[in-house]
A and B are shown apart, each in its own frame.
Chain A
């Protein structure tokens, strides 16, 4: 039980040693092994690694702790095992590698070279994390503890300086807290980019006795896992920030609205809340300041629209998750009619650091109007996929080529999608544009919550637009006309285009429908749903015209426009295509050019996608 800020300092002093050692700052000579225990790595059985590591360590009579942490970010190379404090980074570790790692590294003190990360450029093995290009340009604020501390230990969070921001905030007046946030220029990381401090001020100014603070953890963009990683890797940072926010606006109760599809995030958050309550960091009279704050989790049922704040509120109230008209905005009339602040997980995660280090520090990172960093889930056709945190103002090229390691298989970059189904695409000409809220918007895309999907010449932009609008057809709540009906009609037109049934007039119809859906939809979901269409129309109109006029999809994605697959002279006779063909219509000798029996071929495209040599073309 931590009853006062003095007791918090005491606990920090008791627990910081371990953390400082891990960080290599104050070495105590003890080694630790960290294993990513979430999401991607877990799906590759990282928990077996933990067991095997513990067994091997004890078999060797060693006294070394193995810790499950949050995400290290470099998911492409998972499962990842790190040995601290020297920060040796083992990638793609198999259970069968464990004995060697333990014997070599932990027993003999020799880095086990076979599992080190190999720099694809130089083909050289890299030992420490900080030397890996993927991490070089990253600045970790929101993800500061992810992959570093044991997410299930409140002591490790405290040892890393946790809850000191809350203690500091409670010594300030609520208005002073708000001023710091305002001055920091922090903008909402959920996508909208609304200044957090100003939003808080609205709620602060309301004289209502009851107010609420809500953490929006209803991350729904396809391919996005920023919030999930934070909740799984550093749940206390969110709890601490919510307490700070509650104090600032004058709330005493909060909710974390999190998708039920994130069981581990929910579990870790529940545990963290329970521990924070047990330590007195949630509940009554926190740190003897008289401030009361409590927190509950509400599970979302996976509706994308519930990420929209008014729909989220409706859902917490037990109503159908449908957006409500604004104004009134939640900051004046939100949950059960009371002023309510809703911030996204990432927004909350940076707040303790801002309070601790000050607004000037935060403003020093990023651009003038978009301070700080942004977490992205970098996926698609880049070599290094994973979770990254970069300062605002970084260029797309730096993200894709320096952090992402460039295009997979050396293919040609075509576009990068930001903002998920609400965003748009940016092309080669934009690679040197900087990433911040305003610039992305000017270019016809948006920051969004942080999905970033890199596409190459094998991606069809019409198909991408169709994919996203299809997602919106499914996710439209059905309340307002343009979104409910417009999305399915836009999908229909795109479907006609990709199946060769459309006319050029359909492009005009599509464009004008997209525009009126943007201008007349009720909530953000509908207002942004046509963005992928509008932005692909802007930058890739030729592809639309090609589909309609030539009945051709040059990326060979739109099945209805493919008449046959042909194996060209590039074929090396590797037999991969023949082995995998579901109707066994590919024949040929090993190391000789293969052929496709057109009569039997069902045009599934499996061979096309598998061919490592791009030897298969369509007609």
Chain B
């Protein structure tokens, strides 16, 4: 601690803190336009200057560290005079148009000009900034006239995003900010809009469709509804309309958002939102009342139950809240009496839940997002993180900038591969071989962590036999890469001190998905890289609440908190709490439910917030199922491709219209807050479920989602200490066993959830369908940065549709040439299951004879994909199938 005087007041402050930080704590308001705690110190606006020890030179408080005996004046005449000058200098060239500026009310320059009584008629009028507006980006515009050159946007883009899309042009008073190539370029700018969020003036503004004044808006903190990162943000609302999104500087996202979180909110107030229940009569939807819809469902349930009591199934939703997932599975189990409840986690991380569950005891990210920054080695396998989890992707790049080594194993040269220390462009479906090759090398070179293996694991002897003869040559041959790269990757990973593996669908969506996950666990345990801070195994969960949907028992084998339906004790607990007898038989998974509809075993399907007509493999098969089922209820916010098949459509409220919690990929339960009233006659899913259960003779009396969470906590050990009071502060990471438990930053510290970590021997088996003479091309699928899953929400935003308007596939130059495919033209792509049409996009980031197609589009990639399943968890092999090209049908 050092003693110093600020404005005559003796204070003590911690060493190394800055005067700006200290004064902030003291409630002294020092103006600054260029400072942001997260960014490097620019010290360019010169507004935060203070007088130090009566010296001539005024010093900037943002970078001035406190020192013993220092005497600071923050508002002396001299300081105020200097601030006035500098504000006047900024104001002179600035357009005097605050009355029509959208930023007015939140503009820092406006605020300080008011505070420091700056003359409206500029006293310094030598020039006006006059560079033209740059409107080339689809989501925001740059108006250099309003720019005060604080450089926050540039530093944000460089340092936090590690993108570097923005820069200065010209010098002196002609300097202005623009894109690297003057116009927005998708190859460079990722349109995250974080530059817009940090701009203190109206220089960087979203291209807003609504006219509103800031003083007529309210801001409510909530959780982003897109990917599993769970970014914290505020929805800015006026007159019941969400008009803007602002990031919250929080442990999860540190004030960063991606293009979807920041700009793709138009769906909330979109005119196509479902506003009233629909009942299909004679093949046509007719508007109905809630009572009509409920009683029709009740009649159908009663009818089907009488003859086919075991023919009910439900698909819950990773898009909905924890409370809604809880109610959904409760309804399926307690009301319909079935464990046939599943959701799209089946298609993404079922293999993680199975693979990590059996080896470590818990199928979730072991580390926290904030730990990404402290890794010294980051191994990314089967995850295009900068597109699918953009904010985590940025943290990885930040870690890399701090010196972390990066290993990437991917079929495509993704953004993170560009500067990776090792990039292994693997053949789709060869992960297991890669991991085994690495482990072979590590073991042969004695790089394993003997102590960790001895103290923390079991099964090592048996396991080691499975890799002893699996050489890096063999692995390289299967993966289609150089063995030296596998060895280098092994070397870097094993020698790391804080190494993290990040994986996603590239590992899980295979018929060998569970084995892939088990291999990841083997590799991490071999090197002792798990159960430690910034060392661990991190499956990145794809959807906002896919972790929560799994946690809350929307799975055919689990109640909440992974308590097994076949565990008598667990079942007895739920039976007693719910007051009904429960089925002990494991229910059907998503693929089996679809098969069941086709086979007429499933006669009643209830889908909440899922769109299998786009998301599931072999769309023709899905379609067949949905057409076959006797009665289909779909509950959604839009009339999706799936809802078209429904007998009853129930309009649900969006995340902005309800309260609840989402659990993000790092196991953090975070609050979703209601910011506007439900659209039309729509209702929050939890209310629909509550009312329907009551209608079906199982009365539910929750007065709020908080009540539901209390019930969850009482039945779910890992959520035992969770309640809304605690969550509303800054979230809570499970396991959190009771109200005094602080939550868990990283898993498996000192002891694995299952006790000892289990090494599992794994054999490499190739994908079920590989390229052959008839179908010579390997198709792999995935997401783009811009669209989210089945695009139901993202395709309501114009800018997104401009960047990714339609189905396409990436192909190498050589392969395109071989099949006479022209960049930008459309072609038919067929597999054994169907045909789709897509635009050819020739890229230099993919191997020959492999194509990549995103799965966002109706009648797109999943028309082609294979329904071959992983034997352990029923995850379909969405990542690999064989296709061919046709120029006509």
Interface residues of A (CB under 8 A from B): 303, 320, 325, 327, 473-482, 484-489, 491-492, 509, 512-513, 516-522, 527
* Interface flags, B510-550, vs A, CB<8A=1, else 0: 00000000000000000000000000000000000000000
Chain B residues 36-82 with CB under 8 Å of chain A are 41-47, 49, 56-58, 60, 63, 78, 81-82
Give every chain A residue within 8 A of B46 (Cβ-Cβ).
Answer: 480-482, 520-522
Minimum C-beta distance from B94 to chain A (A): 10
Minimum C-beta distance from B517 to chain A (A): 40
Are the C-beta atoms of B123 and A486 separated by less than 8 Å?
Answer: no
Give every chain B residue within 8 A of A492 (Cβ-Cβ).
Answer: 124-127
Q: Let me know if B172 is at the binding interface, CB within 8 A.
A: yes
Minimum C-beta distance from A478 to chain B (A): 3
Are the C-beta atoms of A484 and B175 separated by less than 8 Å?
Answer: yes
Chain B minimum-CB-distance residue to A509 = B123
Q: Let me know if B85 is at the binding interface, CB within 8 A.
A: yes
Minimum C-beta distance from B599 to chain A (A): 66
Chain B minimum-CB-distance residue to A477 = B171
Are the C-beta atoms of A480 and B44 separated by less than 8 Å?
Answer: yes
Give every chain A residue within 8 A of B149 (Cβ-Cβ).
Answer: 478-479, 481, 484
Are the C-beta atoms of B86 and A488 separated by less than 8 Å?
Answer: no
Q: A475-B172, A476-B173, A520-B58 are in contact. Are A485 and B92 (CB under 8 A)?
A: yes
Complex CA–CA separation, A303 to B43 (angstroms): 21
* Interface flags, B863-879, vs A, CB<8A=1, else 0: 00000000000000000
Q: Let me know if B174 is at the binding interface, CB within 8 A.
A: yes
Complex CA–CA separation, A484 to B86 (angstroms): 10
Chain A minimum-CB-distance residue to B125 = A492
Give every chain A residue within 8 A of B56 (Cβ-Cβ).
Answer: 518-519
Q: Let me know if B702 is at the binding interface, CB within 8 A.
A: no
Minimum C-beta distance from B92 to chain A (A): 7
Chain B residues 94-147 with CB under 8 Å of chain A are 123-127
- Cβ-defined partner of B172 (8 Å) among A325, A474, A519: A474
Minimum C-beta distance from A469 to chain B (A): 11
10 additional A-B residue pairs with CB within 8 Å, beyond A488-B172, A489-B92, A522-B46: A478-B168, A478-B173, A479-B42, A480-B43, A482-B89, A485-B124, A487-B173, A488-B173, A489-B89, A520-B49
Chain B residues 822-843 with CB under 8 Å of chain A are none
- Cβ-defined partner of A480 (8 Å) among B45, B58, B63: B45
Q: List 5 A-B contacts (CB under 8 A).
A: A325-B60, A479-B149, A516-B86, A519-B49, A527-B57
Are the C-beta atoms of A482 and B175 separated by less than 8 Å?
Answer: no
- Cβ-defined partner of A325 (8 Å) among B42, B58, B127: B42
Question: What are the nearest 3 A-B pairs in CB distance?
Answer: A478-B175, A492-B126, A485-B89
Q: Let me know if B762 is at the binding interface, CB within 8 A.
A: no
Are the C-beta atoms of B171 and A478 separated by less than 8 Å?
Answer: yes
Are the C-beta atoms of B63 and A486 separated by less than 8 Å?
Answer: no
Complex CA–CA separation, A522 to B225 (angstroms): 43
Give every chain A residue within 8 A of B45 (Cβ-Cβ).
Answer: 480-481
Complex CA–CA separation, A322 to B89 (angstroms): 20
Complex CA–CA separation, A1 to B324 (angstroms): 83
Q: Let me know if B553 is at the binding interface, CB within 8 A.
A: no
Give every chain A residue within 8 A of B44 (Cβ-Cβ).
Answer: 479-481, 522
- Cβ-defined partner of A485 (8 Å) among B57, B60, B90, B168: B90
Complex CA–CA separation, A487 to B173 (angstroms): 9
Are the C-beta atoms of B90 and A481 separated by less than 8 Å?
Answer: yes
Complex CA–CA separation, A484 to B147 (angstroms): 13
Chain B minimum-CB-distance residue to A492 = B126
Complex CA–CA separation, A325 to B151 (angstroms): 14
Give every chain A residue within 8 A of B126 (Cβ-Cβ).
Answer: 488-489, 491-492
Minimum C-beta distance from A332 to chain B (A): 14
Complex CA–CA separation, A320 to B45 (angstroms): 18
Minimum C-beta distance from A420 to chain B (A): 18
Q: Let me know if B93 is at the binding interface, CB within 8 A.
A: yes
Are the C-beta atoms of B171 and A485 separated by less than 8 Å?
Answer: no
Are the C-beta atoms of A519 and B82 separated by less than 8 Å?
Answer: yes
Are the C-beta atoms of B173 and A516 separated by less than 8 Å?
Answer: no
Are the C-beta atoms of B172 and A486 separated by less than 8 Å?
Answer: no
Q: Let me know if B216 is at the binding interface, CB within 8 A.
A: no
Give every chain A residue within 8 A of B173 (Cβ-Cβ).
Answer: 473, 476, 478, 484-485, 487-488
Minimum C-beta distance from B531 to chain A (A): 34
Are the C-beta atoms of A512 and B92 separated by less than 8 Å?
Answer: no
Chain A minimum-CB-distance residue to B62 = A325
Give every chain B residue within 8 A of A475 (Cβ-Cβ).
Answer: 171-172
Give every chain B residue within 8 A of A521 (Cβ-Cβ).
Answer: 46
Q: Let me know if B170 is at the binding interface, CB within 8 A.
A: yes
Complex CA–CA separation, A354 to B93 (angstroms): 52
Are the C-beta atoms of B170 and A520 separated by less than 8 Å?
Answer: no
Complex CA–CA separation, A480 to B90 (angstroms): 10
Are the C-beta atoms of A513 and B172 separated by less than 8 Å?
Answer: no
Are the C-beta atoms of B171 and A481 separated by less than 8 Å?
Answer: no
Complex CA–CA separation, A509 to B85 (angstroms): 10
Q: A325-B63, A488-B126, A516-B85 are in contact. Are A320 and B168 (CB under 8 A)?
A: yes
Give every chain A residue within 8 A of B174 (Cβ-Cβ).
Answer: 478
Give every chain A residue within 8 A of B123 (Cβ-Cβ).
Answer: 509
Give every chain B residue within 8 A of A519 (Cβ-Cβ).
Answer: 49, 56-58, 78, 82
* Interface flags, B173-189, vs A, CB<8A=1, else 0: 11100000000000000
Are the C-beta atoms of A325 and B43 separated by less than 8 Å?
Answer: yes
Are the C-beta atoms of B171 and A516 separated by less than 8 Å?
Answer: no
Give every chain A residue within 8 A of B171 (Cβ-Cβ).
Answer: 303, 475-478
Give every chain B residue within 8 A of A520 (Cβ-Cβ).
Answer: 46, 49, 58, 82, 85-86
Are the C-beta atoms of A488 and B43 separated by less than 8 Å?
Answer: no
Chain B residues 222-280 with CB under 8 Å of chain A are none
Q: Name the residue among A475, A481, A521 with the largest chain B CB count within 10 angstroms.
A: A481
* Interface flags, B491-502, vs A, CB<8A=1, else 0: 000000000000
Are the C-beta atoms of A486 and B175 separated by less than 8 Å?
Answer: no
Give every chain B residue within 8 A of A527 (Cβ-Cβ).
Answer: 57
Minimum C-beta distance from A73 to chain B (A): 35
- Cβ-defined partner of B124 (8 Å) among A303, A474, A489: A489
Minimum C-beta distance from A310 to chain B (A): 11
Complex CA–CA separation, A478 to B172 (angstroms): 4
Minimum C-beta distance from A454 to chain B (A): 29
Chain A minimum-CB-distance residue to B91 = A485
Are the C-beta atoms of A513 and B170 separated by less than 8 Å?
Answer: no
Are the C-beta atoms of B170 and A522 separated by less than 8 Å?
Answer: no
Minimum C-beta distance from B80 to chain A (A): 11
Are the C-beta atoms of A486 and B43 separated by less than 8 Å?
Answer: no
Give every chain A residue within 8 A of B57 (Cβ-Cβ).
Answer: 518-519, 527
Give every chain B residue within 8 A of A478 (Cβ-Cβ).
Answer: 149, 168, 170-175
Complex CA–CA separation, A473 to B57 (angstroms): 22
Complex CA–CA separation, A240 to B125 (angstroms): 51
Give every chain B residue within 8 A of A325 (Cβ-Cβ).
Answer: 41-43, 60, 63
Complex CA–CA separation, A521 to B47 (angstroms): 10
Complex CA–CA separation, A559 to B57 (angstroms): 37
Minimum C-beta distance from B48 to chain A (A): 10
Chain A minimum-CB-distance residue to B63 = A325
Are the C-beta atoms of B86 and A481 separated by less than 8 Å?
Answer: yes
Complex CA–CA separation, A492 to B126 (angstroms): 6
Q: A325-B60, A481-B46, A519-B56 are in contact. Are A486 and B81 (CB under 8 A)?
A: no
Are the C-beta atoms of A522 and B86 separated by less than 8 Å?
Answer: no
Minimum C-beta distance from A587 to chain B (A): 42
Q: A519-B56, A520-B46, A522-B44 are in contact. Are A512 and B172 (CB under 8 A)?
A: no
Chain A minimum-CB-distance residue to B176 = A478
Are the C-beta atoms of A484 and B60 separated by less than 8 Å?
Answer: no
Complex CA–CA separation, A509 to B42 (angstroms): 28
Complex CA–CA separation, A325 to B126 (angstroms): 27
Q: A485-B92, A527-B57 are in contact. Are A516 and B81 (CB under 8 A)?
A: yes
Minimum C-beta distance from A304 to chain B (A): 10
Complex CA–CA separation, A390 to B226 (angstroms): 73
Give every chain B residue within 8 A of A489 (Cβ-Cβ).
Answer: 89, 92, 124, 126
Give every chain B residue within 8 A of A479 (Cβ-Cβ).
Answer: 42, 44, 149, 151
Minimum C-beta distance from B116 to chain A (A): 13
Complex CA–CA separation, A364 to B172 (angstroms): 44
